[in-house]
Amino acid sequence: MKRKLILENGAVFHGEGIGSERETVGEVVFNTGMTGYQEILSDPSYCDQLVTLTYPLIGNYGINRDDFETMHPSAGGLIIKEAASHPSNFRSIGTLSEWLKEKDIPGLCGIDTRRLTKMIRTAGTLRGRLCTEEVDEEEAVRELQQWIDSRDQVSRVSTKNAYHAPGNGKRVVLMDYGAKHGITRNLLSRGCDVFVLPYNATAKEVLALNPDGVMLSNGPGDPEDVPEAVKTLRSLVGEVPVFGICLGHQLLSLACGATSSKLKFGHRGGNHPVKQVKTGRVDITSQNHGYTVDRDSLMGTDLVLTHVNVNDGTVEGVEHREYPAFSVQYHPEACPGPSDANDLFDQFVRLMNRYEKVPTRI
Ligand SMILES: NC(=O)CC[C@H](N)C(=O)O
């Protein structure tokens, strides 16, 4: 079925529909990874976004049972050059198009994704509408320009109920702002006893679990839209070791007095070089974010810049001067992407060991 993508700048891309036939509007973003479409589409950080993948052939290894980052994908849509119709992989249980249909995610294929990506790089992230050929383009552009982005993504993707993933090591509370499974997987593989709490859990609720550390997850949207999380973190910093990833990093930074802003077109892909300020070590990292902590705003806070992006100098990591709290903008859990930075989870465990609290548990 013919479908098209209308952008707020008036550009129109005509292609073929795949997946759900539902219409959708969202921010169009691009990811430059060559693989990992299953993890990307199931990562809650992409909630509502129309994701275009710059790699031209997508779906060639199908969909498997192991690589979901959440079981309830919330990505707004997928935009690609070519959808493989005959996937081949020993783990494959179906095609990408079937899965998109099953999860009600609309897609568009057969468009020039390089042209679209260049457009976003020049204009900045654009809103788009994925719809049928009949839709009036001028009217759609007017509507897109007046579109008000929703600001409740974190509350939509976060768990509604607390749950427990048992282990016999350090007790970690994972704040679920839209967490990828990869974070829990990494904590469990280090023996951690993980309690996952909803995004709006209070500091009192967190501390009642008597944790050795608190992990702040990734998640969708603008960090300024989650003031309740910032308030909780203000009370937690200094009480218990904290490690934040991506949205978790941004929220920790806001809680410590820094500010954030939106990047022109974000960082999404598997080859973003990040330099550790102290040692000069460069990790190739997995990234997926549209906002950044303002580097200048760190001055006057108790946060120290620990990591910078080699491409554009933006903040990639901070640590607290006084308290056991650190965070990174990128994804040490990878999935998709390289795992150069996976040792940050070990660093978190070491931090919890160092700050061993007086045992109150029996
Ligand atoms: N992956 C994430 O946690 C993304 C954080 C935030 N939603 C951003 O786009 O900057």
Locate the ligand 1 atom nearest the alpha carbon of residue 248 and give its number: 3
> Could you read off the pLDDT of 120-150 as tens digits, one per residue?
999 999 999 999 999 999 999 999 999 999 9
CATH 3.50.30.20 fits 2-146, yes or no: yes
354, two tokens: 């160092």
The CATH homologous superfamily of the domain defined by 153-354: Class I glutamine amidotransferase (GATase) domain (3.40.50.880)
**Other C-beta atoms within 10 Å of 96: how many?**
28
- HSE at residue 212, side-chain half, CA atoms within 13 A, is 21
Any binding-site annotation on 250? yes
Percentage of the chain surpassing pLDDT 70?
A: 98
- 250-to-57, 182, 254, 255, 359 alpha-carbon distances in Å: 33, 19, 6, 9, 31
Residue 361 has what pLDDT? 46
Percentage of the chain surpassing pLDDT 90?
A: 98
358 C-alpha vs ligand 1 centroid, how far in Å?
35
158, two tokens: 């976060």
ipTM greater than 0.90? yes
331 has catalytic annotation: yes
333 has catalytic annotation: yes
CB under 6 Å to ligand 1: residues? 45, 218-221, 246-247, 288-291
Q: If you take atom 3 of ligand 1, which residue's CA is the nearest one?
A: 218
Same fold flag, 2-146 and 153-354: no
